[in-house]
Chain A
């Protein structure tokens, strides 16, 4: 009974819900349309309700990090406490004044979006230094990589659009012809793989999907 509840029932749920979605997409029978609309709306509620789980796991990971490093000094206590302080202040502002209030937007703009944007800015430097080492025309494959990258980069930069007028058309050609050739092949190959995995999942043969959950 325990095995049935823990293993077989989840597989049946996956199969039933999956087939209902497929029927809703491929048939014109109104009841399946209604069921599809209702069930797909459930996914948003399930995701939204379970968001606190992420907070719990993040807190636990932060605590473990502190436990591993606390012998190295009190600075790790500061690292441990800072997320809670910022969380408390921002969460409080959101509850008291609303998420569209100036108070909440102060935290949103100056901390959340600012640091997030800066992390991507840092990635420019790391990508640039790695490209310096790796974008070498040492083989035909590497040359193709370098050519595709350089031509499309030059096409995007206004300075080179002015210096090399032909680069715009050439860069667009690279994106819309060889890139589409390779990209479309990758899309089809990935779709076939996803279909195979999807069918296996619906037939209950992908145990890692349900048992790992």
Chain B
């Protein structure tokens, strides 16, 4: 038997489910209230969890003697300088640190992981007798890459290759769409199960 707070929570949750679904009919105050509620809830959640991260990963080590932690803490605070026009340029420093680190880390792994290794496995599969499937993949890879060559006009051989590549890309997009559709359907099933569980709890189940 569900406790009273649990029941109240499920009642609120069920109301919010239907208020969100009501936007399918038309925009209405119930939908807007639900959206505003989740805005406040999300902000509270993100702030609390990130405050915990700062405390555990930066403040505690700093107090424990890791002086270097001052630098990321100060850089993080510098981000707030963008709130005032005259000091907004100071926010470029922490942004530059993030961009430099992120770009460097990305570039280092991309050459091998997403270019050389992908080309290698495509060629290796063909040479190792991967059969018709590996040939189809190889054709798909080459033709899809030509589709993204925008420095040469898509005429002649390049044009024909790009047209074939587009078909492969369309099949990929179709598969992605299919994954999304079934994902969203699963979410709908989940919400209906939530409502069913609420009704069951309400009836004393």
A and B touch in the complex (CB under 8 A): yes
Q: List chain A positions with a Cβ less than 8 A from chain B.
A: 5-6, 9-11, 13-22, 24-26, 38-56, 58, 62, 75, 78-80, 82-88, 90-91, 94-95, 99, 106-112, 114-128, 131, 140-142, 144-150, 152-153, 156-157, 173-195, 198-199, 201-202, 209-211, 213
Q: CB within 8 A of A49: which of B54, B122, B139? A: B54
Complex interface: chain A residues within 8 A of B20 (CB): 115, 118-119, 121-122
Complex interface: chain A residues within 8 A of B166 (CB): 141
Q: How far, in whole Å, are A111 and B42 apart by their CA atoms in the complex?
A: 9
A and B contact pairs by CB, cutoff 8 A, 17 listed: A18-B103, A42-B72, A46-B94, A47-B76, A51-B46, A79-B33, A83-B43, A86-B40, A90-B45, A115-B38, A121-B187, A127-B177, A127-B181, A127-B184, A144-B171, A180-B137, A186-B169
Complex interface: chain B residues within 8 A of A149 (CB): 173-175, 177-178, 181
Q: List chain B positions with a Cβ less than 8 A from chain A.
A: 5, 9-10, 12-13, 16-17, 20-21, 23-24, 29, 32-54, 57-58, 68-69, 71-73, 75-77, 79-80, 82-83, 89, 91-111, 114-115, 118-119, 122, 133, 136-145, 147-148, 165-175, 177-185, 187-188, 190-191, 194
Would you call A99 and B49 a contact (CB within 8 A)? yes
Interface-central residue, B48, B49, B53, B194, by most chain A CB under 10 Å = B48
Q: CB within 8 A of B80: which of A20, A53, A94, A183? A: A53
Q: How far, in whole Å, are A189 and B119 apart by their CA atoms in the complex?
A: 11
Complex interface: chain B residues within 8 A of A108 (CB): 41, 45
Complex interface: chain B residues within 8 A of A122 (CB): 20-21, 23-24
Interface-central residue, A95, A107, A146, by most chain B CB under 10 Å = A107
Would you call A109 and B136 a contact (CB within 8 A)? no
Q: Do A14 and B194 form a contact, CB below 8 Å, given A45-B72, A177-B136, A189-B148? A: no
Interface-central residue, A48, A147, A150, A202, by most chain B CB under 10 Å = A48
Q: How far, in whole Å, are A15 and B71 apart by their CA atoms in the complex?
A: 18
Would you call B141 and A185 a contact (CB within 8 A)? yes
Would you call B168 and A178 a contact (CB within 8 A)? yes
Closest Cβ of chain B to A58, distance in Å, is 6
Would you call B115 and A14 a contact (CB within 8 A)? no
Complex interface: chain B residues within 8 A of A40 (CB): 101, 105
Would you call A118 and B191 a contact (CB within 8 A)? yes
Q: How far, in whole Å, are A125 and B21 apart by their CA atoms in the complex?
A: 10
Q: Do A191 and B115 form a contact, CB below 8 Å, given A53-B79, A120-B184, A181-B137? A: yes
Complex interface: chain B residues within 8 A of A190 (CB): 114
Would you call B101 and A18 a contact (CB within 8 A)? yes
Known contacts A19-B104, A188-B118; 17 additional CB pairs below 8 A are A14-B100, A25-B104, A39-B101, A40-B105, A42-B72, A49-B72, A54-B43, A87-B40, A88-B40, A108-B41, A111-B37, A148-B172, A181-B144, A185-B141, A185-B169, A198-B106, A210-B96
Q: How far, in whole Å, are A194 and B62 apart by their CA atoms in the complex?
A: 36
Closest Cβ of chain A to B204, distance in Å, is 20
Would you call A18 and B107 a contact (CB within 8 A)? yes
Complex interface: chain A residues within 8 A of B49 (CB): 99
Would you call B41 and A131 a contact (CB within 8 A)? no
Complex interface: chain A residues within 8 A of B111 (CB): 195
Q: Do A46 and B21 form a contact, CB below 8 Å, given A21-B105, A111-B16? A: no
Complex interface: chain B residues within 8 A of A157 (CB): 182
Q: Do A49 and B37 form a contact, CB below 8 Å, given A21-B100, A182-B140? A: no
Q: How far, in whole Å, are A83 and B41 apart by their CA atoms in the complex?
A: 7
Q: How far, in whole Å, are A107 and B82 apart by their CA atoms in the complex?
A: 32
Complex interface: chain A residues within 8 A of B109 (CB): 25
Q: How far, in whole Å, are A28 and B81 apart by their CA atoms in the complex?
A: 38
Would you call A45 and B76 a contact (CB within 8 A)? yes
Q: How far, in whole Å, are A50 and B23 apart by their CA atoms in the complex?
A: 33
Closest Cβ of chain B to A144, distance in Å, is 4
